[in-house]
Amino acid sequence: MTFTEWFIFFFVIQVAHGLGTWKLYIKAGRQAWEALVPVYNAVVLMKIINRPWWWTILLFVPIVNLIMFPVVWVETARSFGKNTTTDTVLALITLGFYNYYLNYVADVTHVKDRSLHPKSAAGDWISSILFAIVAATIVHTYFIQPFTIPTSSLEKTLLVGDFLFVSKFHYGARLPMTTVAAPMVHDTIPFLNVKSYLSKPELPYMRLPGFQKIKRNDIVVFNWPVDTMLDMRHTDKFYYKPIDKKTNYVKRSVGIPGDTLSIKDGYVYINGKQNVLNDRARIQFSYDVTFKGQISSNAQVYEILKRFDMTDGLGYDQESETWIIPAATEEAVARAKNHPNIASIEIRKDVMGNRDSGIFPMNPAYDWNNDFFGPLYIPEKGKTITLTAENLPLYKRVISVYEGRELSVNGNQISIDGQITNQYTFSQDYYWMMGDNRHNSQDSRVWGFVPFDHVVGKPVLVWMSWDGKSPRWERFFTTVGGNGKLVSYFIPFLVLLGLIFGFNTWRKRKANK
């Protein structure tokens, strides 16, 4: 929906509210016109139902308001003496239109200064749970979101089984585009395996101000730009998903807006200089390996590899009849070469000019592959480039899909929104996201640029880590990124938690004396 469509929708909602409650406002000692003034009517309504004014804010927070509106419908009925279970059910199933009955038909009286304390233990329990969900939804949507590392594309930097806290506010929290969705789940409701949201109505893209820009080599969580997953099990290349419901990915932003990126012999170059990562990052490549000596089982092979921190298993190339180590660091390989059961380890790299049809932009004019790629300019907001028939394959998806322009080509003639042109000015920033596992990562080399409107947030903390069998205690409460040795803050966290608990216990005992 456009901003104009949302304005009309908002106006209709306000008129519907005013027509359905103006008599109730009068019975509560207010003026009829107060029911028709947008936002102000909600502030007044909070006074009528004896709730704090800041509930008004929650009514306009996407996703949270899905919980708050039913609460307000029920609270309005109860503020006019309608407290039965039947009244509550009618308020909910009529989506608030029960107010029309109260406004025009029922003989009701406003209950001033009514008690807000639930009349039963069950009511108290439901109230507590409800507002715990509201608080958790606000935190999850606008501040911090938990995230799990599912694949090894950043292995040795972030491990499969790492549980992250991802900050939404570093780069600016993105407001939900899907306005009707289950809180605190992504695109699929667990166990039910059904879609967790309605595609319509959909808010335009909006983002709160952040206090930090994405820097080169930052690890970033973003929505997979080419996602067409119908749900977590089914893919349909024609299936539309709102941006904020596309699958979450985590990669390293090796190229930022305005950079010119190339890959030479597997190494990333930015603006002509080799990209240098921090000392915690661990670049990995694939290797051919041959064994010698007494190898009695696959388990023995895996044990040898594990000794050198090669944890992605072992592959086999049927064509060349060679064993493959999918991912290993150069340091690990240098140590492994001295093992008595390893005859040789040779890096697997493509050659310059050998086109990989699965590599961006998937066009015969570009003979790029995983190890030799570019040069490629990464679009920057407000910057203008000259478009040609040659470079159009690089930016076609940016212009037509991410920026929503109508693009057509007639021979060497390019038209955008019906106008013939040879230039284009980008309306947002773009990033080049890659995994540290350079030969075993689906990243921008496959699907291209990541628009800023797809950015979710910045991983800041590994709060738990699980290797599939046992916890990795040394990774609990460790920071993401940075230099120097990995330091766990788990023990200080437990000490702080104990101090807080002890202080609260002491304070309660002192208050009871």
User: Would you call the peptide bond into 375 cis, given omega within 30 degrees of 0 as the criterion?
Assistant: yes
- Dmax (CA) for the chain in angstroms is 93
Concerning whether 251 is annotated as a catalytic residue, the answer is yes
Angle made by CA atoms 78, 79, 83, in degrees to the nearest 5: 20
Name the residue type at position 478: T
Distance CA 381, CA 428 (A): 4
Distance CA 119, CA 53 (A): 23
Give, in order, the Cα–Cα distances in Å from 278 to each of 62, 157, 219, 254, 256: 38, 10, 12, 12, 17
79, 82, 152, 153: the catalytic one is 153
Structure tokens at 185: 């789940």
Distance CA 481, CA 458 (A): 10
Counted residue by residue, the chain has a size of: 513
- The contacts of residue 412 (CB under 8 Å, 6+ apart) are 388, 389
DSSP at 144 = E
Distance CA 245, CA 264 (A): 35
**Beta-carbon-side half-sphere exposure of residue 115 (alpha carbons within 13 Å):** 6
Distance CA 395, CA 377 (A): 10
Distance CA 276, CA 37 (A): 57
Element (H, E) at 253: strand 248-255
CB 60 within 8 A of CB 72: no
245, 251, 441, 458: the catalytic one is 251
Angle made by CA atoms 292, 296, 300, in degrees to the nearest 5: 85
E strand map for 115-243: 144-148, 162-167, 188-189, 194-195, 219-223
Concerning whether 153 is annotated as a catalytic residue, the answer is yes
Q: What DSSP string describes 323-375? A: EEEEEEEHHHHHHHTTSTTEEEEEE----TT---TTSTT--TT----SSSEEE
Task: Point out the residues that are catalytic.
Answer: 153, 251
